[in-house]
Amino acid sequence: MKNTKRREFIKTSFLSLSGAALLPRSLKDAAYNAGKQTEIPVLPGRVLGRTGIKTPLISMGTGPANNPNFVKSAYFSGVKLFFSATYYGEGNNEKLVGEGLAGLPRDSYVIGTAAPPDGMDTRTGNLPAQLDVDAYIKKAETSLGRFGLDYVDIFLFPYAGERDVMLNESLLKALLELKKRGKTKYLGIASHGNIEEALTAAADSKVYDVAMIAYNYKTENKKSMNDALAYAAKAGVGVVAMKTTAGAFNNKNQANPLNSDAALKWVLQNENITSIVSGMSSLEELKKNLEMIKNLKMTDQELKDLNLAWQDSDPGLYCHQCRKCVTQCPYNLEIPTAMRSYMYAYGYRNLEHAQHTLIEADLPDNSCSNCDKCKIKCTAGFNIKERIEDISRLKKVPQEFLV
């Protein structure tokens, strides 16, 4: 009882959870009722590039899911594409997804997962000097074991951005060997920053079939980004979008919540985006998203709400990962990764993933204590010192209190 109370205290000290949380009983009932369906609804969808897979406009990012019955409920609601990663819950999320889909016809759903090679600098996306091809293949095979599957449909190379990294000979050798052995049907990338270069490299490689990219109404240089999307799509790369609500809120207190329907519809206006990978965590959110994709025409109110959100003077929670802050910092702190952690905690209310991302940032203790005032000019307007000092508290919290 004491641990339970402490766990809840830690969660609420970082963020105020809304009524979106579900009782376990409601999930069990939903999964049971869904399982009795004779037909699964066919949702509006698009074809994922040269893979030929027709997937609904909404897919599931499984990171926030904490119950296999929720995954099962999404499946019986018509969701077809599920994305996990080896670093979600240290592999436990892959197990959860496997449990949720166990016993269902294998050709009726599509699973994607991501795994970085050992020794990769996930902050910058740089590979180790000598990439161990066999070790990377073994890591991918371990991932399959957690799912309980013989293969995944899409295997993603994460933290992609630099062209030279994506086209690294050893990396491509490992990825193509996975495909040759039948461990995956398709190869892809996931990219948070330097996305235009990543999309172009994916298209030119003729190896990557899928790209998962950060894309939302706050995207900078929209024209050049859309040009890169069109280039990739023309080359047959299927593109799915993540971070589509740009943090969902304007500040950490979750004031002025974004009109999520407006934000998601904005993304889907671009027909080169096949599907939105939504990190849903409740039946309420699932139902809302599935209702949204029935009609993509934006209402006058949605246009107004999105315009107001775009003009809001509050810097919000979404970091563009431009990395201009790093060179300004006298201590070269990995600020972009820390800002992603801040968004995961306060915007998406996913403390476990926020902590994992914060650890990746490898910030020293009392990172900003040597600076009375931060001199970094953030392009998004963040108070860097304030946010780093705030989110750094999460690093020392035992993981069992965050689940």
Per-residue CA distances from 103 to 35, 37, 162 (Å): 11, 15, 40
> What would the two tokens of residue 326 be?
């790093």
pTM over 0.75: yes
Residue 260's closest CA among 20, 66, 27, 22?
20
CA 357 to CA 128: how far, in whole Å? 19
Distance from C-alpha of 246 to C-alpha of 295, rounded to nearest angstrom: 22
What is the DSSP track for 295-325?
Answer: --PPPHHHHHHHHHHHH-SS--S------HH
Query: Which residues are CB-neighbours of 121 under 8 A, at least 6 positions away?
Result: 127
Element (H, E) at 239: strand 238-242
User: What are the distances in angstroms from CA 211 to CA 153, 237, 275, 292?
Assistant: 14, 7, 11, 23
Structure tokens at 381: 């307007």
Per-residue pLDDT 10s for the chain (403 aa) are 445 555 554 455 554 433 333 444 455 555 545 555 558 899 999 999 999 999 999 999 988 888 999 999 999 999 999 999 888 777 788 999 999 999 999 999 999 999 999 988 877 888 998 999 999 999 999 988 999 999 999 999 999 989 999 999 999 999 999 999 999 999 999 998 889 999 999 999 999 999 999 998 888 788 999 999 999 999 999 999 998 887 665 555 556 677 889 989 999 999 999 999 998 888 999 999 999 999 999 999 989 888 887 776 677 787 777 788 888 888 888 888 888 888 778 877 778 778 877 877 788 888 888 888 888 888 877 888 888 888 888 878 777 666 6
